[in-house]
């Protein structure tokens, strides 16, 4: 099957996966979506003896059909190797009656590594497929984890520059330290005086600025994205949901075709969208449980069909979810509107103009795959404490949001379906919030002393990527106003 890609907003042109990966956004500002979903056409039992890389090839090859097999296998093998501290890449950990899918064993200790380890290789291969000679400029907005994972992935990659914008006061101190100490001759990190939505909006506007893109093209540059708006980042995320089901099957925890639930803490909707795509491919999923923090715009949308960003933006202990404009929700709107790009475009215009839209009753009826709830700050903290106390399992704040919402779901539904919880970051990335949840006697310690203390209390070894972080030299110190992002790019690229 030859899968092509088209815009969620009405551009009628269809492009190959190489084009979609390289461009990031469609010409009309829409997101690229597959013209159809490929189907998993072998039994899951036949995958039991396959490695993570082999399952990755099976899934990704179905979506990126213009890549030759050897090239795609090289991309996968260069991504999923000893950079990951666990040889299973994304292991499952059974805790009580739940299964935590640990997605944080990569080089930056967050789930973003799962896709951003392969994206640079996919981009280079796409350039080769299309005979593109321009220097690629990776432009990225981050709420904390994407930035470091993208910087790590694209560090010193030939013929690329990577520019990351992050909210100066909207990430954890460890997340910020990871980014501003990033070496590499092609890496650029800029804090903005605003929140993540401001950074994301600025990046999208730059992608849509034809005059600016023409200027870059004349200077032999081409913009691309490492955010989850890029289909090259979204598709590799499908893999770990399929792989986790195969692990359950291999361990005898489920039978072939037995349905499972998947719980995902999400702000930008990409990670849970990947599980929705997996379900469309044939992964037997009962409920997709969307877990929000106090920025619960997604929770409200799934429960009411109304998406309303006219609310207070809150800084929480789960900063990677401090988002009000969830970019990847647009891809879901496309699917539940019977793939109607004109309807999607109208909804996006309503959001841009009025800060709110409401979907029709037919679209609302198609949200039945999802359940949504949110966790307060207090609930996030108490859940970390309870799971550590009762099961000796340490979670980060984002995973705690997911587990808390799952407990609410079980109380409301009595559903006993086997459930996978996406564990999206190492607890060592958020030491202050985690240690405060289990023992609040250390509030006078610095983050790095808190990391030491967290290791002592939990008997967990400090992950290597964080061990050396304290003494790394700060390289990036630029800060700009949210309306000056384009000027910063001009300065960096000298255009």
Q: Which residues participate in catalysis according to the annotation?
A: 112
Tokens 């949001």 belong to residue: 401
Query: What is the DSSP secondary structure assignment for residue 180, as one 8-state letter?
Result: H
Residues 247 and 46 sit within 8 Å (Cβ to Cβ): no
> In whole angstroms, how large is the CA radius of gyration of the chain?
21
Helix (H) or strand (E) run with residue 358 in it? strand 356-358
d(CA 319, CA 86): 26
Of 305, 309, 281, 284, the closest CA to residue 295 belongs to 309
Residue 291 makes CB contacts below 8 A (sequence gap 6+) with: 263, 264, 265, 266, 372, 373, 374, 375, 401, 402, 404, 405, 406
Phi-psi region of 167 (alpha: psi -120 to 50; beta: other; left: phi over 0): beta
Query: What is the DSSP secondary structure assignment for residue 316, as one 8-state letter?
Result: -
Quote the tokens at residue 384: 């970390």
Tokens 């610095």 belong to residue: 446
Residues 71 and 125 sit within 8 Å (Cβ to Cβ): yes
Could you give the C-alpha distances from 382 to 42, 51, 93, 106, 299, in angstroms and in order? Answer: 43, 37, 21, 27, 21
Tokens 């789960």 belong to residue: 318
Tokens 């109304």 belong to residue: 306
Phi-psi region of 379 (alpha: psi -120 to 50; beta: other; left: phi over 0): alpha
Cβ count near 42 (within 10 Å): 9
Of 495, 470, 482, 475, the closest CA to residue 186 belongs to 475
d(CA 370, CA 429): 29
Pairing mode, strands 32-34 and 92-95: unpaired
Task: Write phi, then psi, for 134 (nearest 5 degrees).
Answer: -70, 160
d(CA 329, CA 484): 27
């Amino acid at each position: 099957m030859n899968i092509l890609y088209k815009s969620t907003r009405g551009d009628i042109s269809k492009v190959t996966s190489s084009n979609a990966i390289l461009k990031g956004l469609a010409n009309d500002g829409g997101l690229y979506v597959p013209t159809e979903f490929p189907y998993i056409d072998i039994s899951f039992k036949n995958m039991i003896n396959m490695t993570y890389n082999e399952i990755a090839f099976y899934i990704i090859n179905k979506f990126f059909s213009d890549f030759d097999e050897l090239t795609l296998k090289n991309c996968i093998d260069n991504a999923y190797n000893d950079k990951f501290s666990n040889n299973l890449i994304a292991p499952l950990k059974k805790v009580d009656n739940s299964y935590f899918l640990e997605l944080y064993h990569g080089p930056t200790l967050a789930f973003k590594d799962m896709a951003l380890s392969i994206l640079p290789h996919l981009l280079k291969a796409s350039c080769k497929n299309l005979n593109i000679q321009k220097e690629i400029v990776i432009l990225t907005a981050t709420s904390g984890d994407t930035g470091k994972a993208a910087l790590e992935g694209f560090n010193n990659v030939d013929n690329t520059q990577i520019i990351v914008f992050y909210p100066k006061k909207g990430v954890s101190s460890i997340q910020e330290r990871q980014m501003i100490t990033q070496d590499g001759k092609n890496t650029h990190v800029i804090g903005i005086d605003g929140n993540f939505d401001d950074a994301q909006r600025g990046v999208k506007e730059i992608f849509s600025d034809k005059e600016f893109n023409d200027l870059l093209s004349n200077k032999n540059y081409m913009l691309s994205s490492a955010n989850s708006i890029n289909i090259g980042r979204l598709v590799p995320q499908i893999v770990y949901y399929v792989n986790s089901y195969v692990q359950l099957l291999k361990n005898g925890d489920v039978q072939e075709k037995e349905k499972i639930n998947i719980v995902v803490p999400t702000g930008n909707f990409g990670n849970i969208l990947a599980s929705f795509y997996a379900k469309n491919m044939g992964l037997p999923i009962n409920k997709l449980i969307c877990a929000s923090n106090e920025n619960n715009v997604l929770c409200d949308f799934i429960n009411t069909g109304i998406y309303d960003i006219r609310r207070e933006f809150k800084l929480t202990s789960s900063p990677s979810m401090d988002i009000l404009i969830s970019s990847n929700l647009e891809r879901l709107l496309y699917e539940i509107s019977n793939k109607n790009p004109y309807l999607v475009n109208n909804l996006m215009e309503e959001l841009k103009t009025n800060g709110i839209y409401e979907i029709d009753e037919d679209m609302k009826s198609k949200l039945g795959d999802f359940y949504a709830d949110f966790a307060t700050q207090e609930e996030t903290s108490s859940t970390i404490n309870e799971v550590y106390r009762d099961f000796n399992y340490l979670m980060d704040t984002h995973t705690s949001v997911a587990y808390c919402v799952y407990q609410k779901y079980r109380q409301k539904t009595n559903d006993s379906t086997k459930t996978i919880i996406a564990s999206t970051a190492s607890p060592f990335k958020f030491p202050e919030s985690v240690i405060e949840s289990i023992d609040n006697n250390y509030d006078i310690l610095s983050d790095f002393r808190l990391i030491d203390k967290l290791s002592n209390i939990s008997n967990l070894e400090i992950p290597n990527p964080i061990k050396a972080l304290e003494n790394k030299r700060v390289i990036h110190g630029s800060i700009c106003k949210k309306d000056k992002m384009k000027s910063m790019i001009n300065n960096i690229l000298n255009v």
